[in-house]
Structure 1
C-alpha cells in the first residue's frame, strides 16, 4: 500500500505566532508554517523560556489591540521532561494572581491552579472524569474541603509530607464541584476520550 492520501490537517490549526529560541523547531515544521504566513520570531533571551516568551507576546498583543484578557490554554507542558513540567507548574503558580484562567491541557487531563479561597467548578460529565486530584504543588501545606466528589474532604490537611488527594472521582450525580483551600493548589481532572461517554 502506498502512503496515505489523507489531507494535511495542520492548515486547520494555524498559530498566530511561533516564538522562542527555536532550538527544537524542526526545519520542515518551520518551512511549513512560514509557507502558511505564520510569523516565526527568534528570541535569544536566555532569562526566559519559550513558554514565558509566548505568554509575553500574547500580553503585548492584548495591550496593543486593547483586547480583553484572553483565557490561556497551554497544550502539553505536563508531560515529557520533568524539568519542563516543573517549570509549567511553577509558572502557573506564579501567574495565578494576574491571570485567573490559564489551563494546561494534555491528551488525558486538564489542570489549573486554584488560588486560596472557595471555587465552584461546573462539570460536564460527558467530557470530564471520572478521576481528579487536588495537588499541593508550590505550598508547604493547605487545608481542603470539597463537595461534588466521590470522596469529599472536610478540613483535611494536604501536603507532600502528608496526605495528597489523588485518584479521587467526580460524583456523577453532581454537576458542580466545590473546593475550599487555604493555599493555592493544582486541580486536575481526567478528560474522557472523544466519542466515549
Structure 2
C-alpha cells in the first residue's frame, strides 16, 4: 500500500501469521485517542485490562524542543486536559515563544522543566520560575546524565511519581531527522509490557498523532457520533523495528495477513473510510500507527 496503492494478500486467519506464528489471544486493546483532545477519558472496556484500569484519569503532558506555533489549537486543548505539564529542557522556550512573550498566559501553569538545561534560555527560565498572584513558579530540575535524552528524563520523572499514567508528548516529530527517530525510539523504549502496564505513550506533531501498537488485536476509535471529527483520513501502519503481518478493517485499502517491512511493502497514505468509527488492526509484531489531525 505504498503511497495509497491498493495491495492485498490472502492467507491465515487473524491471530496467526502466514508463517504460523501465534500472537496474543487476549481480547482487543481499546484505544480512545479522541479523548486526548476532547478531554473525556472513557472507562476501560471489558477485555482490555480485564478489570478496573489502575492508571489514573487523564495524562501527563511533555513538551519537547520543537516550535508549536503552527498548531496551537491542538496544543491548547491537550494542555488543558493534562493533569501535569512538563517541559523537556528547551521545550520551555517553545512554550514561551508561542504565548508568554506575547503576554498570553495559557501555558503559565507549567509544572516542571527538566533536562541537562543546555537549551533552556534565560528569558524563558526566568518567566516560568517567577511566582505571581495567579500561579506558582515552575520547578526547574537539572539532570546532567548524558546517557539519556531530555525526553527520556521527562518520561522517567513522570514514571517515578508512582501510579502508572499515560504520557502525551508534543513537538517530537519535526526538525532534525535524528531527533525525530529518537522520539519514535522512545515509544518502543518506554512501553515494554504487552498490555501497556507502564501507561501508554502518544506523540503529537503538527499534523499527526502517532502511537505504538503492540503485538495483538487493537480497536482504535477515530470518530464519534454527533461530534466534530478531530482526525483527518490519512493513516499509516509502520513496522519500524521488525517485519510484521497485519490485518486491518475500516480502511479504504484493508489487508489480510499482509507482510510489511522496511525495504519491502509498507502501509502509508491509507484512508479511513467515511463511515468508519473504529479502525481494527491485528499485528504479529509491534508497529507504529499514525493518523493525521484536523486543524481545529
Q: Any stretches of 5+ residues in structure 1 without a counterpart? A: 1-5
Q: How many residues align?
A: 183
> Of the two structures, which has the highest relative contact order with CA contacts closer than 8 Å and spacing of 6 or more?
2
1:61-72 equivalent positions in 2, closer than 5 A? 61=161, 63=162, 68-72=163-167
1:151 maps to 253
Structure 2 CA distance for aligned equivalents of residues 100 and 69 of structure 1: 5
Structure 2 CA distance for aligned equivalents of residues 163 and 51 of structure 1: 31
Aligned-pair distance for 1:142? 0.5
Normalising by structure 1, report the TM-score.
Answer: 0.87
RMSD across aligned positions (CA): 1.6
1:43 maps to 143
Normalising by structure 2, report the TM-score.
Answer: 0.59
CA 1:25 to 1:34, structure 2 compared with 1: closer, same or farther past 3 Å?
same
- Check the 8 A contact 2:165/2:199 in 1, yes or no: no
2:295 maps to 193
1:90-169 equivalent positions in 2, closer than 5 A? 90-98=185-193, 99-124=198-223, 126-139=229-242, 141-169=243-271
Structure 1 CA distance for aligned equivalents of residues 257 and 209 of structure 2: 25
Structure 1 CA distance for aligned equivalents of residues 271 and 205 of structure 2: 19
1:172 maps to 274
Aligned-pair distance for 1:77? 1.1
Structure 2 CA distance for aligned equivalents of residues 185 and 192 of structure 1: 23
Structure 2 CA distance for aligned equivalents of residues 13 and 118 of structure 1: 40
Which one of the candidate residues 12, 28, 34 is aligned to 2:129?
Answer: 34
Structure number having the greater strand percentage? 1
SS in 1 for 2:248: strand
Structure 2 CA distance for aligned equivalents of residues 121 and 47 of structure 1: 35
2:90 maps to none
Partner deviation per Cα, 1:10-31 (whole Å, 9 max, x = no partner): 4445221100011111111111
Which one of the candidate residues 40, 63, 73 is aligned to 2:168?
Answer: 73
